[in-house]
Structure 1
Amino acid sequence: MADDLAAELVARSRADIAASVGPNRFLELLEAGEVPPERLAWLAGEEFRIVGSDRRSFALLASRFPEAPAGAFFLGLAQGENEAFVLLQDFAAALGLSDKDLIAYEPKPLAQTYPAYLAQRAAFGASSEVALAMLANLEEWGAYCGRVAEALRGRYGMDERAVGFFAFFAEAPPGFADQAADVVAAGLAAGERPEDAALAARMLHAYETAFWNALAEGL
């Protein structure tokens, strides 16, 4: 029963998000080679803050929901952020940015709404909320990262090491979708509200859109 409800919820949330996807001006400019170097530095600086925040959020979720399947799922996401953090430093280095530069970077408020919301849900939300939000938004986020990697290679002459951060997120980890769906089903079976999970998926999508819009502001 919970598995069927989870499958329906995932399908509906994916459809809702797909229907709301609009143009991504930052990516369009990047693919045209029209994003200036200082704006690429914004991308590195914003992601530096996001990865650090998301790593803590997933670790918190693993501690709040330690039992299977949620505990292993969230711990795996936290470990993935560790890998991404190392790869992000390679992207920053290709831009001539040091660790000190990343730390000193002042983030744009609207670019940080996504990790702020994830941190809020990590502290106060249900396991199914975060699992569904990550799963429902996975396809769009992965596609965007793949486009960024390709544009950086083709338009900005970056090598595979420099684009490794975006290539990493372009592909879902093996088994991710099934694991996330299992967490959603387990949460619903434990009494978590499907309406809350669906809302979290839509909210996360809106905040991801705000991230890309913030990067394109003024271009």
Structure 2
Amino acid sequence: MRAELEPGDATPALVAAVAAGRAPLGALAELAARQQRIITSDRRSLLLLATRCANRPLGSWFATLAEGESAALRTLPALAAACGTILDRTADHPPLPDHQSPSDQPPLPRHPPLPGCQAYPAYLAWLALNGLPAAVAAALVANFAAWGGYCAAIAEGLRRHHGFDDAACAFFDFFAQPATALEQQAAAALAPAALGSAELAAAREYGTLLQAYERLFWETLAALPTG
């Protein structure tokens, strides 16, 4: 089933441009800003999935993924700084005190949300509430290799063409690591209850949509004016 759900070989245009040194830093700044919103949302979705199956091995697997999202989120400020931008405040920041004057309020977001970039995390949030957890896990595993390959290509391009150091590339290095251990953990977590026909059908549906929304993410970024 994994082979059936895996994305095709076509590399997103922006990934290819970064790897070849043709992408401007503005595009990379947008990528960092969009990932901040996505990672923040995905982490919560994964924690909800972990809660939904807390008494099963799959719950620990989702929790492990959420911990990884937290680690990745901590690497984004260095990437943004290397791209010449500052990340926006997010809902994870505590609210401002009631007595603070309007002039002290944070500025409007430098990178307001874009529908094409928010489709993936919005759908994962829907899956966290409504999806079959085992089918969600299968759909996520199918995309590990492709996402990791994109991140590896971007990290190499940033070092080669822009001189980014390890701190600036840490976000992509993190996801570029082989996901073999996570895949094995998912297989072990799913083993006690093999996927039935309903779960298999759902996994195909979830995987198809997740991959379509990821393609939309890359296409949206590639179409942005970056100056």
What's the TM-score once normalised by structure 2's chain length? 0.83
Change (3 A) 1:193 1:101: closer
Picking from 199, 202, 211, the partner of 2:205 is 199
Contact (CA 8 Å) 1:128, 1:192: kept in 2 or not?
no
1:31 deviates by 2.1
Change (3 A) 1:189 1:151: closer
Picking from 149, 156, 161, the partner of 1:155 is 161
Contact (CA 8 Å) 1:129, 1:184: kept in 2 or not?
no
Aligned equivalents of 1:102 and 1:145: distance in 2? Answer: 24
Q: Structure 2: any 5+ residue segments left out of the alignment?
A: 92-108
1:156 deviates by 1.1
1:102 deviates by 7.6
Q: Does 1:43 align with 2:35?
A: no
| 1:10 aligned partner, one-letter code | R
Alignment length, in residue pairs?
207
Q: Does 1:131 align with 2:119?
A: no
Match of 2:184 in 1: 178
Aligned equivalents of 2:184 and 2:201: distance in 1? Answer: 21
Aligned equivalents of 1:44 and 1:61: distance in 2? Answer: 25
Match of 2:2 in 1: 10
Tell me how large the CA RMSD over aligned residues is.
Answer: 2.1
Other structure's SS at 1:163 match: helix
Aligned equivalents of 1:133 and 1:197: distance in 2? Answer: 5
1:152 deviates by 0.7
CA deviation profile, 1:29-73 (whole Å, cap 9, x unmatched): 212322222221110111000100011001100111112311110
Change (3 A) 1:174 1:24: closer
Contact (CA 8 Å) 1:142, 1:172: kept in 2 or not?
yes
Match of 2:69 in 1: 81
Match of 2:100 in 1: none
Aligned equivalents of 2:50 and 2:90: distance in 1? Answer: 27
Q: Structure 1: any 5+ residue segments left out of the alignment?
A: 1-8
Match of 1:5 in 2: none
Match of 1:28 in 2: 16
Q: Does 1:67 align with 2:55?
A: yes
Aligned equivalents of 1:32 and 1:71: distance in 2? Answer: 40
Other structure's SS at 2:166 match: coil
Other structure's SS at 1:90 match: helix
1:186 deviates by 4.4
Aligned equivalents of 1:144 and 1:138: distance in 2? Answer: 10
Identity of aligned residues (%): 37
Contact (CA 8 Å) 1:131, 1:183: kept in 2 or not?
no
What's the TM-score once normalised by structure 1's chain length? 0.86
Other structure's SS at 1:34 match: coil
Task: State which drifts further: 197-206 or 154-163.
Answer: 197-206
1:168 deviates by 0.2
Match of 2:119 in 1: 113
Q: Which has the larger share of helix?
A: 1
Rg larger in structure: 2
| 2:143 aligned partner, one-letter code | N
Aligned equivalents of 2:26 and 2:150: distance in 1? Answer: 20
Contact (CA 8 Å) 1:142, 1:171: kept in 2 or not?
yes
Contact (CA 8 Å) 1:152, 1:158: kept in 2 or not?
yes
